[in-house]
């Protein structure tokens, strides 16, 4: 069994959580680069994870504040998964991963950090992306900063939108 260790995320786990839903709040602010929002669709959007498991860790969320997939209407579910596919395309083009983890955590017991607003994680993976650093030094090696990753992914998204 492969394990994806993420001890650097303890900072997120222990930090004081913002009031309200981060997905609802960030999308209202219209400060997309600062809030790491890469794309806004009609019913859903793509946002980078500020505490990523790996570089390029994206999340796709509906605008509507609902806790589970079965609460989404047909238009929302279709757009969420179209944006998951779009995320795969953009990540493949810009970051060249060897694979992906895609998942939805519904409910606290299932690992949902934000259980009141359903979202899909898209995590790019590379051969050899796990190493001794998290175990020995309690440190995760993230090879590119969030802002640089944002700019690269945003440029790729913009290219597709202008076609």
Active-site residue set: 119
Q: How confident is the model at residue 145, as a pLDDT?
A: 76
List the domain boundaries for the chain.
Answer: 7-13+21-161
117-154 burial, b for 16+ CB within 10 Å, e for fewer? bbbbbbbbbeeebbeeebeeeeebeeeeebeebbebbb
Tell whether the model's pLDDT for residue 4 goes beyond 60: no
Q: How confident is the model at residue 138, as a pLDDT?
A: 44
Q: What is the pLDDT of residues 86-128, one digit of tens each?
A: 999 999 999 999 999 999 999 989 888 888 999 999 999 998 7
Q: How confident is the model at residue 157, as a pLDDT?
A: 93
State the average pLDDT over residues 145-162: 88
Instruction: Supply the mean pLDDT for the chain.
Output: 85
Q: What letter would DSSP give residue 61?
A: E
Q: What is the pLDDT of residues 33-66, one digit of tens each?
A: 999 999 999 999 999 999 888 899 999 999 999 9
What's the rounded Cα separation, in Å, for the pair 102 and 91? Answer: 13
Q: How confident is the model at residue 111, as a pLDDT?
A: 83
Q: How confident is the model at residue 98, as a pLDDT?
A: 96
Q: What letter would DSSP give residue 107?
A: S
Q: How confident is the model at residue 114, as a pLDDT?
A: 87
Cα distances (Å, whole numbers) of residue 130 to 8, 26, 41, 49:
13, 31, 33, 19
- Superfamily of segment(s) 7-13+21-161: HIT-like (3.30.428.10)
What's the rounded Cα separation, in Å, for the pair 37 and 27? Answer: 8
CA 36 to chain centre: 10
This prediction's pTM: 0.81
What's the rounded Cα separation, in Å, for the pair 35 and 44? Answer: 15
Beta strands in the chain (DSSP E): 37-40, 44-48, 58-62, 99-103, 120-125
Give residue 162's pLDDT band: very low, low, confident or very high (50, 70, 90): low
């Amino acid at each position: 069994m492969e394990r994806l260790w993420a001890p650097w995320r303890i900072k997120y786990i222990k930090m004081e959580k913002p009031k309200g839903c981060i997905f609802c709040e960030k999308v209202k602010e219209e400060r997309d680069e600062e809030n790491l929002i890469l794309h806004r669709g009609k019913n859903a959007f793509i946002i980078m994870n500020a505490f990523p498991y790996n570089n390029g860790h994206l999340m796709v969320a509906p605008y509507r504040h609902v806790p589970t997939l079965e609460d989404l209407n047909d238009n929302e579910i279709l757009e969420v998964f179209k944006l998951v596919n779009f995320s795969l395309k953009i990540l493949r083009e810009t970051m060249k991963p060897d694979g992906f983890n895609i998942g939805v955590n519904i409910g606290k017991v299932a690992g949902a950090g934000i259980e009141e607003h359903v979202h899909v994680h898209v995590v790019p993976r590379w051969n050899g992306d796990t190493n001794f650093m998290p175990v020995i030094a309690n440190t995760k090696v993230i090879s590119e900063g969030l802002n640089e990753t944002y700019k690269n992914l945003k440029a790729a998204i913009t290219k597709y939108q202008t076609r």
